[in-house]
Structure 1
Amino acid sequence: MRAAICLLFALLFVWSANFATAHALDPGYLEIRQIASNTWSVHWRKPDVNGQPMAIDAILPDGCTPTRGPDPVSDSRAWISSWIVECHADIAGQPIAIEGLETQRNDVLVRLHPLDAEPATLRFTPDVSVQIIPSEQSTWSVFAAYSQLGFEHILEGWDHLLFVFALFVLVRDPWKLVGAVTAFTLAHSITLALATIGVLNVPGPPVEAVIALSIVFLAMEIVKGGEGRFRLSKQKPWIVCFGFGLLHGLGFAGALADIGLPSNDIPAALLAFNLGVEAGQLSFIAALTLLLAAWRLVALPVGRNATVLTAYGIGSVSMYWLIERVSGF
Structure 2
Amino acid sequence: MMIVRLVFILLLMLGGSKTAMPHALDPGYLSISQINDETWEVFWRKPDVQGAPMSIDAQLPETCTPRFGPAPSSDGSAWIASWVAICSRGLEGQTLQIKGLEQQNTDVLIRYQPKDTAASTKRLSSSSTQLVLPTAPSAMSVFRTYGLLGFDHILEGLDHLLFVMALVLLIPDKWRLVGTITAFTIAHSITLALASLGHISIPGPPVEAIIALSVVFLAVELLKRKDDQSRLSERAPWVIAFAFGLLHGLGFAGALQEIGLPDTDVVLALLAFNLGVEAGQLMFVAVILVTGFFFQNIIVESVPKQLAFQQRLTTLSAYAIGGVATYWLAERLAGF
Common topology (TM > 0.5): yes
Structure 1, unmatched stretches of 5+, are: none
Deviations 1:148-204 (A, max 9, x none): 111110000111111111111111122222222222121112112221222211111
Alignment of structure 1 residues 172-251 onto 2, 5 Å: 172-251=172-251
Q: CA deviation at 1:20?
A: 4.4
Amino acid at match of 1:327: A
Counterpart in the other structure of 1:321:
328
- Inter-partner Cα distance in structure 1 for 2:233 and 2:333: 26
Counterpart in the other structure of 1:279:
279
- Inter-partner Cα distance in structure 1 for 2:137 and 2:173: 44
Amino acid at match of 1:309: L
What SS does the aligned partner of 2:76 have? coil
Amino acid at match of 2:255: A
Same amino acid, percent of matched pairs? 53
Matched, 1:47 2:47: yes
Q: CA RMSD in A?
A: 1.6
Amino acid at match of 1:81: A
Counterpart in the other structure of 1:12:
11
Counterpart in the other structure of 1:130:
130
- Inter-partner Cα distance in structure 2 for 1:30 and 1:58: 8
What SS does the aligned partner of 2:20 have? helix
Counterpart in the other structure of 1:67:
67
CA contact (8 A) 1:187 1:246 kept: yes
- Inter-partner Cα distance in structure 1 for 2:98 and 2:149: 17
TM-score by length of 1: 0.95
CA contact (8 A) 1:92 1:135 kept: yes
CA contact (8 A) 1:24 1:49 kept: no
Distance 1:177 1:12, change over 3 A: same
| Worse-superposed segment, 221-230 or 47-56 | 221-230
- Inter-partner Cα distance in structure 1 for 2:287 and 2:314: 19
What SS does the aligned partner of 1:62 have? coil
Counterpart in the other structure of 1:253:
253
CA contact (8 A) 1:215 1:318 kept: yes
Amino acid at match of 2:20: T
| Worse-superposed segment, 129-138 or 171-180 | 171-180
Deviations 1:274-322 (A, max 9, x none): 1111111110011101211222233124421211111111111101111
Counterpart in the other structure of 1:297:
297
Q: CA deviation at 1:109?
A: 0.5
CA contact (8 A) 2:60 2:97 kept: yes
CA contact (8 A) 1:60 1:96 kept: yes
Counterpart in the other structure of 1:97:
97
Amino acid at match of 1:248: H
Amino acid at match of 1:57: D
CA contact (8 A) 2:56 2:98 kept: yes
Q: CA deviation at 1:96?
A: 1.4
- Inter-partner Cα distance in structure 2 for 1:59 and 1:42: 11
- Inter-partner Cα distance in structure 1 for 2:134 and 2:19: 35
Structure 2, unmatched stretches of 5+, are: 301-305
Counterpart in the other structure of 1:21:
20
What SS does the aligned partner of 2:332 have? helix
